[in-house]
Chains A and B, each alone.
Chain A
Amino acid sequence: MSPTTPLIKTFTIDGKPVSATEDETILDVARQNGIDIPTLCNLEGLTPTGQCRLCMVEIGGTNRMVPSCVAKPDEGMEIVTDSERLLKYRRMIVELLFSERNHICAVCVTNGHCELQAMAQRLGVDHIRYGYLHPRFRLDGSHPRYEVDHNRCILCGRCVRVCDEIEGAHTRDLRNRGIKTLVITDFDGRWGESATCTNCGKCVHVCPTGALAEKGKSVAEMAKQRHFLPYLVMRRKGLKK
């Protein structure tokens, strides 16, 4: 760091003067200031990865958009979190997520508790302009307590991160690339036969949709409980100090 670089950076978000420390992202600062940037893959307590691209913001003076969950602000930046252009791309992202898999809200265990469904409503997505792909997936119901339905997965990677970073098991990962990406258990085995899974259920509860659910839940019954996550992270930070 050069000696002239200030430790506190000052800049604006939607015209509001704000400041950030060295390690804060644009999203962190926006949230501290009550500015609600839409996100899907982001979850407090997990490393941000910028996967879903919903949190893209505009930087004044450039044509670029950056994912605010991973981008750090610079001194004097003018950041815009809401514009016609951003709304256009955010809608497009949500519509593409719906078109890629078989998200049928009416029969989903997470109907009414789903972050994708709520995001569509928030962004005014009342139909999907793209053709649905209707891929065919096998469900994995081999675990005694939980199940995976890839039809409802948006590949946000929260389950992968929580298993690795919080539980420390790294049972989950992603295979393939692009549209063929799939969340897998161990080396693409059946969940019920996993040698590493601790049956903790954290992946189920951080999942934003009905892709991971407890068995035996019917339509709209699978509300997710996430209060454990910031608590665990806080306690661990406390222990390290």
Chain B
Amino acid sequence: MTSEEMSEKKATHKQEKLRLATIWLDGCSGCHMSFLDIDERLIELSELVEMVFSPLVDVKVFPEDVDITLVEGALGTEEDLHKLKKIRARTKTLVAFGDCAITANIPSMRNPFGVEETLKAVYLDKEALNLQIPVESVPPLLPRALPLHNCVKVDVFIPGCPPSADTIFFALSELIAGRTPNLMDKTRFGA
């Protein structure tokens, strides 16, 4: 969307802001940092969308009737899977946001070794006091870290580790304009 189109949209649709949510699961928050890197364009964006849920806003419960949700991160735990199913049920357009959401990326590096061996390597095979594998108040790991689309329907994929701010802004602008963004000339796996 051009800035003219955007201001036009602002003028005509002031009352009907789209409801945008973002969340990170098994990810590093890098995609969210890149989202913040769209800088002053965040203000343009805020005229068009209402941020109804995000690590960047103080809302505890994922709301109903969300138009667009950006999901960063792979599915690493049973909690991630539980959250994603709820998000899917409450979102019109679900976006796999970044390589972890699309390929399981870095979190999937544990997959060849399995949960038991991974936990042992991280928590027990070290020199430290009180070596133990944490079990209280932490969700159990899934047998493998998985891409989102292995478990729910994903509508749009934004590859990149992280996708650049320009890519994110373009993708969001297209989605707000009701179009499916074509991103392959802008980003790729590992970008």
Chain A residues close to B by CB (< 8 Å):
98, 102-108, 111-112, 117-118, 120-122, 124, 126-129, 131-132, 134-137
The residue of chain B having its C-beta at the shortest distance from the C-beta of A123 within the complex is B184
Is A106 touching B190 in the complex (CB atoms < 8 A)? yes
Q: Is the CB of B188 within 8 A of A117?
A: yes
Is B161 touching A106 in the complex (CB atoms < 8 A)? yes
- Out of A108, A126, A131, name the residue touching B190 (CB < 8 Å): A108
Give the interface size class of chain B. 20 to 34
Which B residues between 94 and 144 are near A, CB-CB below 8 angstroms? 96, 99, 102-106, 108-109, 111-113, 144
**B112 lies within 8 A of A107 (CB):** no
Q: Kindly state whether residue B157 has any CB partner on chain A within 8 Å.
A: yes
Contacts of A126 in B (CB 8 A): 102, 157, 159, 183-184
A112 to chain B, nearest CB (A): 7
Kindly provide the distance from the CB of B165 to the nearest chain A CB, expressed in whole angstroms.
17
Q: Is the CB of B111 within 8 A of A134?
A: yes
Q: Which residues of B contact A105 (CB under 8 A)?
A: 99, 161, 188-190
* Seed contacts A106-B189, A107-B106, A134-B112; 15 additional CB < 8 Å A-B pairs: A104-B103, A104-B106, A105-B190, A106-B105, A117-B189, A120-B188, A126-B183, A127-B96, A127-B102, A127-B157, A131-B150, A132-B108, A132-B111, A134-B111, A137-B112
Q: What residue of chain B has the Cβ atom nearest to residue A102's Cβ?
A: B112
Q: Across the interface, do B108 and A106 meet the contact criterion of CB distance under 8 Å?
A: no
Q: Is the CB of B103 within 8 A of A127?
A: yes
Q: Which residues of B contact A122 (CB under 8 A)?
A: 184
Chain B residue contacts of A121, Cβ below 8 A = 184, 188-189
CB-CB under 8 A from A124, the residues of chain B are 184
B149 contacts partner chain A, Cβ-Cβ < 8 Å: yes
> Lowest 7 CB-CB distances: which A-B pairs, in order?
A105-B190, A106-B161, A134-B111, A136-B112, A121-B188, A126-B157, A105-B189
Which residue on A lies nearest to B158, using beta carbons?
A126
Q: How far is the CB of A134 from chain B (nearest CB, A)?
A: 4
Q: Which B residues from 147 to 169 make CB contacts under 8 A with A? A: 147, 149-150, 154, 157, 159, 161
Q: What distance in Å separates the Cβ of A222 from its nearest Cβ neighbour in chain B?
A: 13
Distance in angstroms between the alpha carbons of A124 and B157 in the assembled complex: 11
The complex places the Cα of A132 from the Cα of B111 at a distance, in Å, of 10
**Are B112 and A135 touching (Cβ within 8 A)?**
yes
* Complex Cα gap A91–B131 (Å): 47
- Bound-state CA distance A136–B47 (Å) is 49
B residues less than 8 Å from A128 (CB atoms): 103, 147
Nearest CB in chain A: distance from B28 CB, A: 10
Which B residues touch A117, using CB under 8 A?
188-190
Which listed residue, B108, B150, B184, touches A134 by the CB 8 Å rule? Answer: B108
Chain B's nearest CB lies how many Å from the CB of A143? 23
Tell me whether A106 and B183 are in contact (CB under 8 A): no
Query: Which of chain A's residues have a CB closer than 8 A to the CB of B109?
Result: 102, 104, 107
Interchain CA distance A137-B161 in the complex, whole Å: 24
Among residues of B, the one whose C-beta sits closest to the C-beta of A107 is: B106
Is B154 a contact of A112 with CB atoms below 8 Å?
Answer: no
Does A132 lie within 8 Å of B105, measured CB to CB? no
Of all chain A residues, the one with the shortest Cβ separation from B99 is A106
- In the complex, 16 of the A-B residue pairs with CB atoms within 8 angstroms, ordered by the A residue number, are A98-B103, A102-B109, A102-B111, A102-B112, A105-B188, A105-B189, A106-B189, A111-B190, A118-B188, A124-B184, A127-B96, A127-B103, A127-B154, A127-B157, A129-B149, A134-B111
